[in-house]
């Protein structure tokens, strides 16, 4: 799990290596309030509205081919927004 504690402060995914050919999904966990989360694949692009992917509660990105989960960067509009890696295939 990845938690954005402070909005505007990019958080890198944890060091979890994936096997060659595996795909992964990233999901923004459901929260009591409406939050916008951001996912990108570098620290700079997660801060840029033109290059990041915006997510809401329970949204997911599927079929991502990453070598390591730490290639993903996260940010959000609200404190304590949580994301998780799901669906390793």
Tokens of 46: 């997660």
Sign of CA dihedral 38, 43, 47, 53: negative
The per-residue pLDDT for 80 is: 95
Domain boundaries in the chain?
A: 2-86
**pLDDT digit string (tens) for 19-71?**
998 999 999 999 888 889 999 999 989 989 889 999 999 999 999 999 999 99
Give the pLDDT band of residue 87 (cuts 50, 70, 90).
confident
Does residue 9 carry a pLDDT above 90? yes
Strands, E assignment, 11-88: 11-12, 24-28, 37-40, 53-55, 60-64, 73-76, 81-86
What is the predicted pLDDT for the residue at 11? 97
């Amino acid at each position: 799990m990845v938690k954005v504690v402070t909005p505007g402060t990019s958080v890198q995914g944890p060091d979890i290596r994936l096997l060659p050919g595996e795909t992964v999904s990233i999901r923004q966990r459901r929260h009591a309030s409406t939050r916008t989360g951001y996912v990108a694949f570098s620290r700079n692009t997660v801060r840029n509205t033109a290059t990041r992917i915006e997510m809401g509660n329970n949204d997911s990105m599927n079929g991502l081919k990453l070598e390591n989960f730490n290639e993903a960067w996260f940010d959000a509009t609200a404190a304590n927004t949580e994301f998780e890696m799901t669906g390793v295939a």
